[in-house]
Structure 1
Amino acid sequence: MLGKVWFFSLFLGIECYTIAQETLLHQNLLNGYNKRIRPGADRTRPVNLEASFTLVTLKEFSESDGKIAVVGAFGFSWRDERLVWDPASYGGDLYRTIVYFEDIWVPQFVNLNPYDKLKRVGLDEMYCTVEDNGELNFHPPDLYESTCDADVTHYPFDEQKCSLLYYIPGYYSNDINITAASSAFNMELYEKNGLWEILKTSFSVKTSAKNFQIISLTIVMTRRTAYYIAGLLLPIVLMNFIQLFVFLLPVESGERVGFSITVLLAVAVFLTIIQEKLPEASEPNVSLLTYKLLVDMIIGCGMIFAVIIGMRFYHRSDDIRVPWILRGFTRCFYLCCTPINLKQSIKPDEVVEIKHEKPSIGSDEIPIKWNDVGKAFDRVCLPLFFLSLVMNNVVYFITIFA
């Protein structure tokens, strides 16, 4: 096989460069090269720099810390007249070579809104490819982090928009003219994030009031809500309506107050969990879920007060006369809906006859006990708090999806 290669190279005139020729090329190109001076033979014209971005993965987005981190690679392309050569002088087919990042002039981009310390794009140990016509291509991969203030108004059904801003310090638009190779990210290598779904990406270049150009990488994403629906919202809604069973729990069990307080504490735990995940700032808005849970706690506290009041009615001595207001309340909400057994006088050798009648609301013939007042109070509280919880949940979901 090697003999065939030599045969074709000898008789067909195939040219190929050697390592010595490429070493000589590097010596000639970098001899007297000043990497601190930007390219451009005509200093009145800016260097045309074409930029792009390839997204690999969305590593992290933290609402509480206001941080976004993505893994990807910039793509920069420009022309440097000092790096032009004639391939015929170096074996005839040396059309492309690779040089160190630190040996030539490259655009020193830095993050304009860094999350941590300021650092430039790319490392000294990286390489650039150079064509014989002076065209350079540089693709520095890295973990890019920036600040991003989260809008958690509709959490966990929220949509976030974050921008990573980059510019070249010391150069203005009349020195370097940056153009976008594409209006969006290259997503060919993108791996889906388990928590966020990217809806839209944008790559743009804008000129600031100070006449320097800024690269803006914008990501619009929405939260994947399956986990939050199953692990957060459904348990909260179920706990809301479990509280209502306190009014159906027998008074004799003695567990009414303990039951209602236990459920209220569970709601408080969920409120604490949500507060730990969300930022402390109140702008642009506080999460609507926080307001919902706050109303749930208010309703839960109202249930506890109602249970205590009802327990006082149940355990009050029948020697104390029931006020006329509570008698009317009991006749209206309890006795009017409950069949009362009125026994007729029993005569010897006669069959006992029992009639089920609904006494008149204004009748005083039926004695009303404090136990009846407690039952009437439970009958009023059950639908009242049920409607309150339904309204709270309906208002929350309408506001979220409106």
Structure 2
Amino acid sequence: MLGKISFLSLLLGIECYTIAEETLLHQNLLNGYNKRIRPGADRTKPVNLDASFTLTAIKEFSESEGKIAVVGAFRFNWEDERLIWDPATYGGDLHNTIMYFQDIWVPQFVNMNPYNELKRVGLDEMYCTLTETGQVTFIPPDLYESTCDADVTYYPFDKQKCSLLYYIPGYYISDMNITAASSTLDMDLYEKNGLWQVLETSFSVKTSAKNFQLIDLTISMTRRTTYYVAGLLLPIVLMNFIQLFVFLLPVESGERVGFSITVLLAVAVFLTIIQEKLPEASEPNVSVLTYKLLVDMIIGCGMILAVVIGMRFYHRSDDIRVPWILRGFTRCFYGCCTPINSKQSVNPDEVVDIKSEKPSRGSDGVSITWNDVGKAFDRVCLPLFFLSLVMNNIVYFIIIFV
């Protein structure tokens, strides 16, 4: 088979270069080549550099650390007249070749806002593609990390916008003219992130006040909220309203205070979890969810205080007279719905002295006990705290979605 192909190649006059010819090409191109000097025969004109970026994945975005890490690859194109050759000299069909990037001049881009140490774009073992016309293509894939201050005001319904800035130290606009090959990032190879959804991207070249150019990669994204709604918001809302059942719990069980404290501690645990996920800085804003949980805790503390007060009413001795203001309170919020001890008859043998009449007995002869005061207090606290929780949740969702 190889003999037939060789025979046909000779018969048809097909030319093909050999490894010796490509080796000779590399030797000739690098002979006297100084990789520390930028291309350009006319030193008064800048090197025209086309740049673009292909985004393949968002590896990490940390709100607490203010860090974004993306996986992708830059694509740089420029012309170096020192790397032009005649294919006829090297087998006739040597139109392209690959050369080690450390052997020729390449733009040394560095990150303007790095998260860790400053490093150049491109790994140590990388190659460039060259054409016979001197066109050089350099595609360095890497993990690119940068700082990005998160705005967690509407967490977990927040949107983030991060920029990665790159420039070439030592080169000004008179030496290097960078143009964007595309106004957006190439998303053809992008793999969807389970936590973040990319809304839009932009790729632009800016000129700073110091007369050098910056490459700006901007990614706008929004958080996928299904997990947070099911695993964070719904449990918080349910725990809020479970607290209300403390006013329906029988006093005889003796578990009212313990129940209230347990639910309040659960809310505090959620508050701690959220605070660990969010940045400690107060700028640009603290998460609205943090304020909501803080109000939930205040309402929970109010419930515990109300339970303690109600327990004092329930366990107060009937020998202590009920003040007139509590009798009116009880009649208003409890007696108006169901008669208080309406079947209780007045003992005919009881002698009542006007000067020593107990305040717990009204003018209609119906007695009001401390137990009745406690029940009236529960009837007031239940709708009061229910409305407080409803208003707190309504205000939170209005701020988030309006």
Deviations 1:28-62 (A, max 9, x none): 00000000000001111110000000111100000
Distance 1:343 1:171 in 2: 99
Distance 1:175 1:99 in 2: 24
Deviations 1:217-237 (A, max 9, x none): 100010000000000000000
Aligned to 2:319: 319
2:157·2:222 contact (CA, 8 Å) conserved in 1? yes
Shift of 1:184: 0.8
Q: Identify if the C-alpha distance between structure 1 residues 199 and 363 changes in structure 2 by more than 3 Å, giving closer, same or farther.
A: farther
Q: Does 2:32 align with 1:22? A: no
Aligned to 1:342: 343
Aligned to 1:372: 372
1:60·1:70 contact (CA, 8 Å) conserved in 2? yes
Aligned to 1:349: none
1:328·1:362 contact (CA, 8 Å) conserved in 2? no
Identity of aligned residues (%): 83
1:111·1:165 contact (CA, 8 Å) conserved in 2? yes
- Superposition map of 1:257-276 within 5 A: 257-276=257-276
AA matched with 1:56: T
- Superposition map of 1:73-222 within 5 A: 73-222=73-222
Shift of 1:401: 0.4
Aligned to 1:46: 46
AA matched with 1:100: Y
Q: Does 2:11 align with 1:11? A: yes
Shift of 1:174: 1.0
2:314·2:371 contact (CA, 8 Å) conserved in 1? yes
AA matched with 1:15: E
Distance 2:344 2:64 in 1: 70
1:100·1:124 contact (CA, 8 Å) conserved in 2? no
Distance 1:396 1:362 in 2: 46
- Superposition map of 1:221-300 within 5 A: 221-300=221-300
Shift of 1:124: 3.0
Gapped regions of structure 2 (runs ≥ 5): 347-360
AA matched with 1:84: I
Distance 1:66 1:343 in 2: 70
Distance 1:152 1:8 in 2: 69
1:39·1:82 contact (CA, 8 Å) conserved in 2? yes
Shift of 1:365: 1.8
Aligned to 2:349: none
Distance 2:398 2:92 in 1: 72
2:123·2:142 contact (CA, 8 Å) conserved in 1? no
Distance 1:66 1:92 in 2: 55
Aligned to 2:65: 65
Deviations 1:276-320 (A, max 9, x none): 000000000000000000000000000000000000011111111
1:101·1:123 contact (CA, 8 Å) conserved in 2? no
Q: Identify if the C-alpha distance between structure 1 residues 207 and 344 changes in structure 2 by more than 3 Å, giving closer, same or farther.
A: closer
Shift of 1:364: 4.0
1:97·1:129 contact (CA, 8 Å) conserved in 2? yes
TM-score, normalised with respect to structure 2 = 0.95
What secondary structure, in the 3-state scheme, does the structure 1 residue paired with 2:137 have? Answer: strand
AA matched with 1:286: V
Shift of 1:343: 6.7
What secondary structure, in the 3-state scheme, does the structure 1 residue paired with 2:83 have? Answer: strand
Distance 1:343 1:136 in 2: 103
CA RMSD in angstroms comes to 1.3
Shift of 1:4: 2.5
Shift of 1:13: 1.1
Aligned to 1:356: none
TM-score, normalised with respect to structure 1 = 0.95
Deviations 1:146-175 (A, max 9, x none): 000000000000000000000000000110
Shift of 1:9: 1.6
What secondary structure, in the 3-state scheme, does the structure 2 residue paired with 1:342 have? Answer: coil
Aligned to 2:31: 31
1:57·1:71 contact (CA, 8 Å) conserved in 2? yes
Shift of 1:7: 2.1
Distance 2:153 2:379 in 1: 37
AA matched with 2:309: I
Shift of 1:344: 7.9
Q: Identify if the C-alpha distance between structure 1 residues 313 and 4 changes in structure 2 by more than 3 Å, giving closer, same or farther.
A: same
Distance 1:28 1:364 in 2: 118
Distance 2:377 2:222 in 1: 47
What secondary structure, in the 3-state scheme, does the structure 2 residue paired with 1:215 have? Answer: strand
